[in-house]
Amino acid sequence: MKLEKKSQRVIPIQHFYVRVLKYAAFAFGLILISVGIGILGYHFICGLNAIDSFHMSCMILTGMGPVAEMKTLNAKLFSSFYALYSGVAFLSITAVFFAPIVHRLLHILNIESNDDESNL
């Protein structure tokens, strides 16, 4: 997923849409992996059933907070580390998703500012 350099032209809109889809697919993959880790941990370490594990994983990953009480030491440790991981993962996944959009916007603004300077 190579991006164009500052001196290159902005890519056509069709290519941009493909790039956005690729980044969105990658971000979605990261979400699936993160939720999968949570489901497995909450099910096997914390003893929650499958749907409660999924619910807890989604709530923690999005920053909404826990929905079940962790009773054992291992459950509390897993839940704590998963919450720490989730905070970083959520911000990173959001950055991956918006990267091509922000890049295009900044690239367009840079080209326009360079055009303005050359006309002086």
pTM of the model: 0.83
Give tens-digit pLDDT for 35-87. Answer: 999 999 999 999 999 999 999 999 999 999 999 999 999 999 999 999 999 99
Query: What domains sit in the chain, N to C, each tagged with a CATH number?
Result: 13-110 (1.10.287)
Measure the CA–CA gap between 16 and 10, rounded to whole angstroms. 9
Note the pLDDT of residue 16. 93
DSSP conformation class of 11: P
High-pLDDT (> 90) share of the chain, %:
73
